[in-house]
Chains A and B, each alone.
Chain A
C-alpha cells in the first residue's frame, strides 16, 4: 500500500478541550466563522453518560475524495508522496460544489476570499519534518498522525457510530471508540 497519512482520533482519551481546533485557528487565522477542525460531542443516543465523549474531525484526506471529484475547476489535488488532499486557492472559482458534496462537511466557504478552503493536514509543516498543529497541541495524545500503510491497530474503526459511513470515499481517519466508565456500586464493594 502507498503511503497515506491520516488522523487517529482516540475518543477514549479525548477530553473535548478544543486545543486542536484552537491550534488550527492559531496556525492559519481563518476568517470568522470558518473552521477547518471541529470537536463534535457524541450525542446521548451513542454515548449515554453524563460525561461527554468527542470526535475531533477535520478533512479525512479520503482515497477517493468527493471534493476532488466534484470540483469543476480541478482546484484539488492529492499528493503522491503522502496522500494529502490539497486545495489550491488560486484555482478555486468559488462555486462551493465541494462544500455541498463532502459528506463530512470538511471544505468551508470563506466569505472574505469567496473561495472554499479546508484542512491541508499542515503539509508545509509535514514537509519541514513537523507534526500538524492540531496533533502537536493535543494534551492527551488523543489526536495522532498515522500512515495507513504501516498503521496496525486491530481495534481501530473506520466508521464508528456517529460518523457518516461512506465506504466508496474511503476516508483516512481511524478511531478508537469511547468507552463508558465502569460505575462501581456500593453492593459491588461488598
Chain B
C-alpha cells in the first residue's frame, strides 16, 4: 500500500506538470500566426494559475507540519527541495502576472522558460543517490514527457482548429517518446545493481505501471493515429494514465536500504 503521505505528492507532481505543460504548449502554439483567434487568453491563464496554485496547496498536505512550510526555503545552498518550492512560487506568481497584467509574448515565453526550469528542479529533487534507478536524468525526462503529454492533450480543449494538427503531432511525438522511455527504463534497470534490478522487476510486475503504459500512452497514441484528431475525452484518459504511472513511480522505485546485508 502506498504510504498515505506520498499521495499528495502524486497529485502535486501531476497537476503541477499539467499546468507547466499547458504553459509550454500555449507558448508553442501562439508563436506563429493564427488564422483563427484563441479562446480568451486571460481565462486560459487564470485556469493555468489555478491548477498550479491548487497543486501547491495539495503539496502542503504532505507535510507533517504544514504551518512550518515557510521554513522549506531555508536551505537553498544544498537542497533541491528548497529550490523546487522557490521556483514553483515564482512560477505561480509569473502565471498570475501573465493572466492579470496581459498575455504578451514576452510574459508567455518568460513563464514557459520558468516552467521548464521548474521541471528540471523537480527532477533533481527526485533523483537522490538512495534510489540508484533514478539517480540520473530519468525523473526530469519522465516529468518533461508527462508535462508535454498532459499539456498537449488538454490544450486541445482551448486551441483554435488550425492549431489542432500541431497539437496532434506534438502529442504523437510525446506519446511515442514516452512509450520508448517508460518501456526501456525498467529493462535497462534489470542489468544494474540489486536496488536497480529490484526496481526494474517491481515496475514490470506492477499493474499500475502497465496501466500507465496501456491507458496513458499506447491507447491514446492508437486513438490519435486512427482518428486523426484529439477526441475531447482523451485528456481524461491521459490524466488517469499519468496518475497510475506516478503512483508506480513512488511505490515501486526501490531504496538502497532494503538490501543492506545483501549484494548491493
**A residues apposed to B, CB below 8 Å:** 40-43, 45-46, 54-55, 57, 66, 68-74, 91-97, 100-105, 109, 113-115, 161-166, 168-169
Contact = CB atoms under 8 A, between A and B. Distances in A.
A163 B195 CA distance: 12
B129 interface: yes
B31 interface: no
A103 B258 CA distance: 10
A74 B68 CA distance: 12
Contact of B261 (A46, A73, A109): A46
B65 A93 contact: yes
A55 B264 contact: no
Contacts of A68: 78
Contact of B81 (A43, A57, A97, A162): A97
B82 A94 contact: no
Given A46-B262, A93-B64, A71 B256 contact: no
B62 interface: yes
A168 B130 CA distance: 12
Contacts of A93: 63-65, 68-69, 71-72
Contact of A165 (B5, B81, B257, B264): B264
Contacts of A72: 71-75, 79, 81-82, 85
Q: Which of B257, B258, B261 has the most CB of A within 10 A?
A: B261
B80 interface: yes
Given A72-B74, A74-B74, A103-B256, A55 B261 contact: yes
25 contacts: A41-B261, A42-B262, A45-B262, A55-B260, A55-B261, A66-B129, A66-B130, A68-B78, A70-B79, A72-B74, A72-B85, A74-B74, A92-B68, A94-B63, A94-B64, A94-B65, A95-B72, A97-B81, A97-B125, A101-B128, A103-B129, A104-B257, A104-B260, A115-B64, A166-B129
Interface residues of B, number: 32
A104 B75 contact: no
Given A70-B78, A94-B63, 18 more contacts: A40-B260, A55-B260, A66-B129, A68-B78, A70-B79, A72-B85, A73-B75, A74-B71, A93-B71, A94-B65, A94-B68, A100-B130, A104-B256, A105-B255, A109-B64, A113-B64, A162-B261, A162-B263
A102 to B, nearest CB: 6
Interface string B179-208: 000000000000000000000000000000
B56 to A, nearest CB: 14
